[in-house]
Structure 1
Amino acid sequence: MSGVRPFVRADIPPVADLHRRVFSSRSPARREARDAHEAYFSELYFGNAWCAEASPSLVWEDGRGAVAGFLGVTTRAMSLGGQALRAAVTSQFMVDAEARRRAPLAAVELVKALLAGPQDLTLADEATEPARRLWEGLGGATALLLSLQWARVLRPARFAVSRLAARNRLGRLARGAAPLCRPADGLAARMPSSPFALTATSLRAEDLDAATLRDCIAEAAADTALRPEYDERSLKWLLEVLAGKRGCGGFHRTGLRDDAGRLVGWYLAHLAPGGTGEVLQVGARGGALAPVLDHLFARAWQLGVDVLYGRVEPARLRQLSERGCVFHHRGHWMLVHSGVPGVLEAIHRGDAFLTRLEGEWCLRFQGEHS
């Protein structure tokens, strides 16, 4: 009989194979690829710092007992006004195409089982439009503002050419324009009146350790009603996972000090030369975000990044806009569900500290792109 049950270690090979079929290729995987997939599911769902038996990941079995659906769950400690909460963060929601045809309610059953769990808050921050409709149909909500992202174009010419090159009919035009990109982008970055101009900063960079980052997050989130509660062990594990990702650029966990040696801000980002930069978190002490953004943008430029993306934080809309950022919906939705009074209200009014560090992006399989 088909149905949903908890994900156990013995399910790792079939779930890894399901992931490869759904997101990668239907052709047989080489041994190295199979090993990488299986190691990912083992480490993320059984070796992570937030393993919780009460909120397991879920699989859907078809009538023959074969695993044909999966919904990953990792838990996070959070708090609302001092009240301890347990959040469940979803990842890798997938159902085999044949299973969807034979059992169209498989995805519904997985989400219903998830939302019936004991967690206080459920988050899905990289949901597709079909997943959004399903979620809302089962009583969940969409956090519209947190579904927006900011973008800061650093190399406008090369960024435009890369967009043209992605269109088959315009590929020749893009190749012809490519030699002009470097001088055009250099001029755009240097001209004071340019919307792409970079601002120099005297801040000094250093690598952040887990303990310092924990303290920074705690201080930055202190004035928000809903916030994450990290410990050094969990942050260290998460930073190691991020540093080990391949295919999305080098991972930068950067603390910034002023001329007096005081730590004034930080950022966490994957920066890919010749491509995109994904900003997971950016913070500042005392509200001085502008120089932190300036340092991030200049560093990304030096490394050859074309464009940076990050999640919109309502309290920072003005500061981001003043630094040349634009806001758009990138195709993913932030979905939320909670029965605890005050949780959803805090999220919808922008009184929650929810960055990409608290979401699914960190949990992606290496090589998965935005």
Structure 2
Amino acid sequence: MAGKSQAGMVRDLEVGDLQMVASLFAKTFRRSKPPTASLTDYLQEVFLNHPWSDPDICSKVFVEASGQVTGFVGVFPSRLELDARPVRAAFAGSLMVDDPKGNPLAGARLLRAFMAGPQDISITETANHTALGMWQKAGYPLDPGYSMGWLRVLRPFSAAADTGGRIVPPAGILRPVGRILDRGAALARLMPFRPAERTASKVSFSDATPEQFATAMMTLSRHFPLRPRWDERTLLWFLAQAQEKRDLGYPEWRVGYGPKGQLLGAYVYFSSPGNIGWLLQAVCAPGSEGELVDDLFAHAYEMGYSGVRGSSHPWLIPALMSRRTMLYGRSFFIADARDKSLLEPIKAGRALVSGLAGETWTRLIGDRFD
């Protein structure tokens, strides 16, 4: 399908577009040199060879009359279910236009083309401020619960050095200084950010393999009325993609059980010693949120990380707020559906539609393509 005008046209992504899309991605999001073949290959893998590929739900490109691709919206097809009812879903990520000032309507046209697709529900969980403006002008408001970012500082000097290094790379040379100051604070017993002990917890968490984590995710997802229709093969594909996020460190897979051996929680986060960890996915049975958060913070502290951050897990927010966690807005979550009943679990904060269940599993977030 395509929409034409003198200013260009919007159509489905094709294999021949991938090199131009990779160049646009590198320019827009990485500000880097010309893209490598690995980035082009990855775009083909996730946008054209996705395990849930749907010929009717495709990424879109904006093409000038010259044939040059100057706009793109990446679309991930998804298979959800609402109380066992199949739901056809699509996630929009990587909305970009080469010259938004010169062609201010290109982004809006890409967005309209995405929303006009046959999916039952349309979602994005990674809209930046520019994309958010496009969504809101089109009449789609953000969802506050799934747009919330959070940060729990564990070692304040190291966390400050890590944050500074991410904003201004040369400031990364201060990381060793931060670690020294945090060690000094620990020796002086000045550790106001140290997490609570887990001795009284009714949930026992332990390290797990990706396969064990996948099994736990499929079981625990049943606590959420709107959730992915995973099977082992597709979920392991998402996990394999996520494991390659080299800029975020290494994954820590954790699964928790109750005193009678019942499965109660699971989470995965990424980090390297001294740096701030990033929570990709958390899921748990109702009533176990506090134990999951306590284990996450305690484990990260024991591993030597300076803090943990995350987003888009609204069922965890009450537990996070009561444990010295800072909340903020960073990327924005928006959802719309023709059948508005599909939005009720999202409004209630009981939908599993972010992280591994959304679009932030992709290597386009948190990986390098050398």
TM-score category, normalised to shorter length: 0.7 to 0.9
**CA-CA distance at 1:289 after TM superposition:** 3.2
Structure 2: how far apart are the matches of 1:236 and 1:175?
35
Give the superposed CA RMSD.
3.0
Q: Does structure 1 residue 117 correspond to structure 2 residue 123?
A: no
**CA-CA distance at 1:255 after TM superposition:** 2.1
**CA-CA distance at 1:52 after TM superposition:** 1.0
What does residue 338 of structure 2 align with? 339
Secondary structure of residue in 2 paired with 1:352: coil
What does residue 362 of structure 2 align with? 363
Aligned in 2, Cα 1:262/1:145: closer, same or farther, shift over 3 Å? closer
What does residue 298 of structure 2 align with? 298
What does residue 46 of structure 1 align with? 48
Aligned in 2, Cα 1:198/1:183: closer, same or farther, shift over 3 Å? farther
Structure 1: how far apart are the matches of 2:241 and 2:175?
36
What does residue 352 of structure 2 align with? 353
What does residue 96 of structure 2 align with? 94
Cα deviation, 1:204-226, whole Å, max 9, x if unaligned, reads 5232444x545534543434432
**1:157–1:185 contact (8 Å) kept in structure 2:** no
Q: How many residues align?
A: 357
**1:253–1:268 contact (8 Å) kept in structure 2:** yes
- Aligned to 2:23, which of 17, 22, 33? 17
Secondary structure of residue in 2 paired with 1:222: helix
**AA in 2 matched with 1:114:** F
**1:48–1:237 contact (8 Å) kept in structure 2:** no
Structure 2: how far apart are the matches of 1:244 and 1:224?
27
Structure 2: how far apart are the matches of 1:246 and 1:176?
21
Q: What does residue range 42-81 of structure 1 map to in structure 2 within 5 Å?
A: 42-81=44-83
Q: What does residue range 75-224 of structure 1 map to in structure 2 within 5 Å?
A: 75-97=77-99, 100-163=100-163, 178=178, 179-185=180-186, 194-201=192-199, 203=204, 205-210=206-211, 212-213=212-213, 215-224=215-224
**CA-CA distance at 1:299 after TM superposition:** 2.5
Secondary structure of residue in 2 paired with 1:238: helix
Structure 2: how far apart are the matches of 1:335 and 1:85?
17
**1:146–1:312 contact (8 Å) kept in structure 2:** yes
Structure 1: how far apart are the matches of 2:55 and 2:187?
53
**AA in 2 matched with 1:266:** A
**2:91–2:124 contact (8 Å) kept in structure 1:** yes
**Higher mean C-alpha displacement, 224-233 vs 195-204:** 195-204
Structure 2: how far apart are the matches of 1:333 and 1:167?
20
**Higher mean C-alpha displacement, 46-55 vs 279-288:** 279-288
Cα deviation, 1:200-250, whole Å, max 9, x if unaligned, reads 45835232444x545534543434432222111110100110112211100
Aligned in 2, Cα 1:36/1:186: closer, same or farther, shift over 3 Å? farther
Structure 1: how far apart are the matches of 2:233 and 2:248?
25
**2:337–2:343 contact (8 Å) kept in structure 1:** yes
Secondary structure of residue in 1 paired with 2:274: coil
| Percent of aligned pairs sharing the same letter | 27
Q: TM-score, normalised by structure 1?
A: 0.85
Q: TM-score, normalised by structure 2?
A: 0.85
Structure 1: how far apart are the matches of 2:258 and 2:207?
11
Gaps of 5+ in 1: none
Gaps of 5+ in 2: 1-5
